[in-house]
Each structure stands twice: as C-alpha cells, then as structure tokens.
C-alpha cells in the first residue's frame, strides 16, 4: 500500500487479551476502508504480531501516543511524528475519554473524524467483548449484519496467519507432536492451583508419552511456573519463558493442544486455531472467552459477590476443577470432538471487570 494512502489511527490501551478480542473489529475496519493504512497504537508486542500477520500496516506503543497527547510543546522528533498523525483521516480509540482530552488533542492534530468509546461502556448492548468492539464502530459501519454473522464470516472470523516466510524463524526446536500449557495469567485470581497443573502434566505424560509437553510463560509467570515445576521432579518436559510474543506465536503454531487460563496467551493460541482447553475462574466466558468450536471452556460456580470478595477468596471454588475433567476434555479436543463450554452460571463477573491480561 502506498505510503501516501490515508491513515486510520487505532488506539487501544488494553492488554494482550483485550487487543485480540478487538481483532474482528479491526477486520471490519479493513473491509470498510480498504484504501487506508491502519496504524496501531497499543500493546507493543501485540502490535508486532498484528504487523507480521498483516492485520495492520504499522504499530507503535500506546505510551508513545499518550506522551504526546499530554504535552504542550514538542521537540523535533515529536513534531516529525505529529506530521504523520496529521495525515490521518480517521481515528478509533477504544478508551474512556470523559474529560475530552483525547478528542481535543486528536482534533488539534487535524483528525476530525473520531470515535472514542470504552468497550466497558455500560450503555453498550452486546455481552461478548468482541461484539462490543464492533458495536462501537456503528457511527462508521452498519454493524447489525456484521454482528449477526461475526463468528462465521470468513473475513472477520478468520485465524491469525503468519506469512510462510516467517515460519522458518521458529525460535527453538519444536518437537512435534506438541502440547503447550500456560499455568499463568495477568491476575492471580484467574490462576488454578499448582497442584492441579502438576496433575494435568502428569496425566498427559502418562496418556501421551510420545508427545512433547511444554510449559510456556512470560516474565510475569515465573513464580507460577516455579510452583508447578516444584511438583514435577524427575519428569522430562520443555520450558519456554521470556521469549517475545511473536516468537511464542510462531512456536504455538506447532502445537496440537493448548491448555491455559483466561489469559492473553490463551487468546493468542485460540486465534491461531490451536485446539484449546481453557480453565476460567471469576471472569465470565460468555463475555471474555475466545470463540471457536476448537475452544473448550471449563469452569465451576463462583460464590463470591463483588470484587473485594474475589480478592479475599482463598479456596477458589470456581477453579477447583478435578484433574480427570480437564484430561477428559483434552482427550476430546485431541480427538477432534467438537467441544462446548461446561458452563455454570454465576453473577460475580460484573463486579470483577478486570481486563483480560496477558
């Protein structure tokens, strides 16, 4: 696409999982404005993934844009950056702007056509976050038909795909067949016990000795991984930690199965089409879970009322899932059986509106 093409600015301050939930909305923008260059301001590593998968044309960190928006004077490099912004015709910001700071700044930068609205806005009609991101586009797009087939529309619901030339960059030897497990999350309230995870690993090794088991995590998951590792003495498995998100995504493409929590990596695996078993706790999968018949969600009832109650909860009944149940669901997914969520309804999610962190 020519560098002189009009620019559509996309501002998303959320974490990895939140950004991936906005992917259908990004594709609606692609289809609606095919002549525009899409420039992403948001999660740094997700931006790199989106560029590599050709979902957007350029990416920058949200912090960089936020810094500019709150300054009154600029040096040479910042002015050069602002000159790029002045070529933007439109801007979508999935954020709260009650004080009008963002709208005023974008208009001052020459961007007159703006949508600024948080996906957590209580006046939005849809429940699932992916639908809420699309609903916010209504001033620009007729979203009624888009939302009616959001899960089946091939252009909107397609999987993330890296160009074939990139696949050779897999960061380490991926010994197939491969099962990947992510025992961490951006919030400890979403994490099942290390004992459960150790039981899952043991069960998978006994049932599938020919498969490689890999425990994966980011820098924030080191403690969770250590706790699980301490229960897995004398067992042979792979550890993958501290890699950049793009490399993790390329590695995940070799997996036959992914098991995780409500986390950004779970959303990445699901968007790559990896058959997944996800353990959900206090967050509602009807709102937060990645979609697809290749995704199976397991959760138990939550008796906590309000965020304070969740933060004080010690026994985590919502994540007290028997290991045989997880292993049975994993077998279903590995065998290609269409899986649906094991869904126990509860009412704590509205009070615990934590973003899906990665």
Contacts for 345 with CB less than 8 Å, ≥ 6 apart: 301
Asked if residue 151 lies in contact with residue 228, where contact means CB atoms within 8 angstroms, the answer is no
Question: What pLDDT score does 144 carry?
Answer: 55
Residue 351 pLDDT grade (very low, low, confident, very high; cuts 50, 70, 90): very low
CATH classification of the domain holding 222? 3.40.50.2000
* Average pLDDT score over the chain: 84
Residue 262 pLDDT grade (very low, low, confident, very high; cuts 50, 70, 90): very high
| Tokens (6 digits) for 358 | 């990665």
pLDDT digits (tens, 9 = 90+) for 278-328: 999 888 899 999 999 999 999 887 666 666 665 666 667 778 899 999 999
Among 26-35, 41-50, 122-131, 162-171, which is the least confidently predicted range? 162-171
Domain boundary among 131, 158, 185: 158
| Distances 28 to 44, 58, 156, 162, 225 between C-alpha atoms, Å | 22, 17, 7, 19, 38
- Domain span holding position 308: 166-351
Task: Tell whether 76 and 140 lie within a shared domain.
Answer: yes
Question: What pLDDT score does 175 carry?
Answer: 64
Percent of the chain residues past pLDDT 70, beyond the cut: 77
Task: Tell whether 197 and 131 lie within a shared domain.
Answer: no
Domain boundary among 98, 133, 158: 158
pTM of the model: 0.88
Asked if residue 4 lies in contact with residue 112, where contact means CB atoms within 8 angstroms, the answer is no
Whether 51 is in a domain gets the answer yes
Question: What pLDDT score does 56 carry?
Answer: 97
| Beta-ladder partners of 239 | 215
Question: What pLDDT score does 305 carry?
Answer: 65
Average pLDDT over residues 190-209: 94
Average pLDDT over residues 232-251: 90
Average pLDDT over residues 219-225: 87
Res 342 pLDDT > 80 = no
Among 51-55, 81-85, 241-245, 351-355, which is the least confidently predicted range? 351-355
Question: What pLDDT score does 171 carry?
Answer: 52
Distance separating alpha carbons of residues 244 and 241, to the nearest angstrom: 9
Residue corresponding to tokens 């990139």: 166
Task: Tell whether 331 and 203 lie within a shared domain.
Answer: yes
Name which residue leads in pLDDT, 308 or 13: 13
Task: Tell whether 146 and 186 lie within a shared domain.
Answer: no
Task: Tell whether 146 and 202 lie within a shared domain.
Answer: no
Backbone torsions φ then ψ of 113, nearest 5 degrees: -100, 95
Residue 346 pLDDT grade (very low, low, confident, very high; cuts 50, 70, 90): very low
Residue 170 pLDDT grade (very low, low, confident, very high; cuts 50, 70, 90): low
Average pLDDT over residues 145-168: 65
CATH classification of the domain holding 55? 3.40.50
- Total number of domains in the chain: 2
Task: Tell whether 193 and 97 lie within a shared domain.
Answer: no
Domain boundary among 126, 158, 190: 158
Task: Tell whether 130 and 173 lie within a shared domain.
Answer: no
Task: Tell whether 197 and 334 lie within a shared domain.
Answer: yes
Question: What pLDDT score does 347 carry?
Answer: 41
Our CA dihedral for 288, 291, 296, 297, rounded to 10 degrees, sits at 10
């Amino acid at each position: 696409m020519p560098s002189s093409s009009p620019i559509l600015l996309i501002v998303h301050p959320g974490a990895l999982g939140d950004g991936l939930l906005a992917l259908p909305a990004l594709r609606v923008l692609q289809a609606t404005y095919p002549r525009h260059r899409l420039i992403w301001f948001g999660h740094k590593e997700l931006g790199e993934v989106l560029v590599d998968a050709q979902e957007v044309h350029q990416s920058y960190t949200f912090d960089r844009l936020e810094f500019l928006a709150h300054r009154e004077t600029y040096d040479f490099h910042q002015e050069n950056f602002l000159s790029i912004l002045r070529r933007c015709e439109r801007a979508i910001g999935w954020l709260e702007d009650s004080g009008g700071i963002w709208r005023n700044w974008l208009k001052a930068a020459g961007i007159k056509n703006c949508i600024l609205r948080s996906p957590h806005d209580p006046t939005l009609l849809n429940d699932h976050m992916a639908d809420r991101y699309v609903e916010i586009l209504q001033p620009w797009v007729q979203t009624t038909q888009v939302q009616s087939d959001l899960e089946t529309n091939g252009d909107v619901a397609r999987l993330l795909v890296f160009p074939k030339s990139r696949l050779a960059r897999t960061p380490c030897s991926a010994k197939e067949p491969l099962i990947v497990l992510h025992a961490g999350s951006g919030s400890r309230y979403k994490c099942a016990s290390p004992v459960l995870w150790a039981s899952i690993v043991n069960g998978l090794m006994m049932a599938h000795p020919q498969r490689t088991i890999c425990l994966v995590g980011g820098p924030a998951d080191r403690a969770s991984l250590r706790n699980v590792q301490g229960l897995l003495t004398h067992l042979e498995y792979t550890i993958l930690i501290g890699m950049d998100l793009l490399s993790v995504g390329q590695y995940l493409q070799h997996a036959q199965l992914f098991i995780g929590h409500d986390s950004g990596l779970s959303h990445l695996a699901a968007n790559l089409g990896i058959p997944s078993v996800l353990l959900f706790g206090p967050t509602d999968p009807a709102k937060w879970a990645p979609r697809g018949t290749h995704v199976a969600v397991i959760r138990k009832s939550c008796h906590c009322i309000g965020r304070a109650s969740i933060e004080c909860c010690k026994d985590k009944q919502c994540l007290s899932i028997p290991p045989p149940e997880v292993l049975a669901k994993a077998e279903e997914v590995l065998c290609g059986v269409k899986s649906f969520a094991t869904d126990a309804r509860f009412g704590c999610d509205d009070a615990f509106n934590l973003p899906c962190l990665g």
